[in-house]
């Protein structure tokens, strides 16, 4: 009986995968490839809930989330989306139990070990933003390796937010500017929005056009606070590990149905 139950469940997942592919094919036809966002940012939320609902350890939720990241990077490459920024670890995430923090750092290490060759081969430049020097050295060294190996790639940028907080980024930029002023290299009246922006962690990247937050939460959680001034938001109840091709296409189509005015008419 138990075996039969498992077979039914496997059959269900198989069918769902096939129907999902069919739905994605239909959505692709609705997508206007000439009006895609240049920069997509994602808060990869809901890994824990995804696992909990299946009676699985949270670790498996994060692992499944890593698969979603792989899928979304592939789609960005295929569609020509230039920048993908993902929130992998916030400055607040240190408050989680030590084993979970360790797991997330190990997963980061594993992700780079497993994916770096392919990312490099595909022309992806790997970047990271956040207070990176505070990361455990094993993870930090792997991130530095990925950034060095892929530094000259230009097809797409995968920007990973690690030990990142939007307020912290603004404070860090302010410190750099204050230091210039202290040394007499800058007058306060020279501080403009452009100058401030130049002192952020990834000054050369455009602001995100689209910010996606899965898992039903309707908040920004200290992510890219400066950069999202005119970003379009897309919220979905789907947990990040279930966020695959169909979900990403839905988010892009929703974005394409918006009229962006940037405060104008
Ligand atoms: C939030 O979900 C997710 C995280 C804090 C970590 C995201 C990390 C991954 C997807 C791992 C792969 C990424 C890299 C770059 C290695 P949550 O755990 O808060 O979910 P919950 O709110 O349902 O508990």
Burial class (CB in 10 A: 0-12, 13-18, 19+), 130: buried
Q: Which residue of 62, 96, 103, 163 sits with most ligand 1 atoms within 8 Å of its CB, as the best mutation to test the pocket? A: 62
CA dihedral sign of residues 146, 152, 155, 159: positive
For residue 177, how far is its CA from the centre of ligand 1 (angstroms)? 33
Ligand 1: distance of its center to the CA of 47 in Å?
Answer: 5
| pLDDT score for 8 | 72
pLDDT digits 0-9 by tens, 74-109: 999 999 999 999 999 999 999 999 999 999 999 999
pLDDT of residue 265: 79
Residue 9: band (very low, low, confident or very high) from pLDDT cuts 50, 70, 90: low
Is 204 labeled as catalytic in the residue annotation?
Answer: no
* Tens digit of each residue's pLDDT (9 = 90 or more) over 203-247: 999 999 999 999 999 999 999 999 999 999 999 999 999 999 999
| Rounded CA Rg of the chain | 20
CA–CA distance, 167 with 226 (Å, rounded to integer): 9
Which domains occur in the chain, in start order? 38-253 (3.40.1180.10)
Confidence of residue 144 (pLDDT cuts 50, 70, 90): very high
CA dist., res. 144 & res. 60, Å (int): 26
Q: What contacts 247, CB < 8 A, 6 or more positions away?
A: 214, 236, 238
What pLDDT is recorded for position 16?
A: 81
């Amino acid at each position: 009986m138990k075996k039969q139950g498992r077979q039914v469940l496997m059959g269900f997942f198989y069918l769902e995968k096939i129907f999902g592919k069919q739905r994605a094919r239909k959505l692709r036809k609705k997508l206007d490839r000439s009006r895609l966002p240049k920069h997509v940012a994602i808060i990869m939320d809901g890994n824990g809930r995804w696992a909990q609902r299946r009676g699985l350890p949270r670790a498996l939720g994060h692992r499944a989330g890593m698969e979603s990241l792989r899928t979304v990077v592939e789609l960005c490459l295929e569609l020509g989306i230039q920048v993908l920024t993902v929130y992998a670890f916030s400055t607040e995430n240190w408050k989680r139990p030590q084993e979970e923090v360790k797991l997330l750092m190990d997963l980061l290490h594993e992700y780079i070990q497993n994916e770096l060759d392919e990312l490099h081969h595909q022309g992806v430049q790997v970047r990271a933003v956040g207070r990176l020097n505070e990361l455990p050295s094993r993870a930090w060294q792997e991130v530095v390796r990925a950034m060095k190996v892929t530094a000259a790639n230009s097809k797409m940028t995968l920007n990973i937010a690690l030990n990142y907080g939007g307020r912290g980024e603004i404070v860090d930029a302010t410190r750099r500017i204050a230091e210039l002023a202290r040394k007499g290299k800058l007058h306060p009246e020279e501080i403009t929005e452009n100058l401030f922006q130049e002192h952020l962690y990834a000054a050369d990247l455009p602001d995100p056009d689209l910010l996606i937050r899965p898992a039903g939460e309707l908040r920004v959680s200290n992510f890219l606070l400066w950069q999202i001034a005119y970003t379009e938001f897309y919220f979905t109840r789907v947990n990040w590990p279930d966020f695959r091709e169909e979900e990403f296409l839905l988010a892009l189509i929703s974005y394409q149905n918006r009229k962006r005015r940037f405060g104008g008419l």
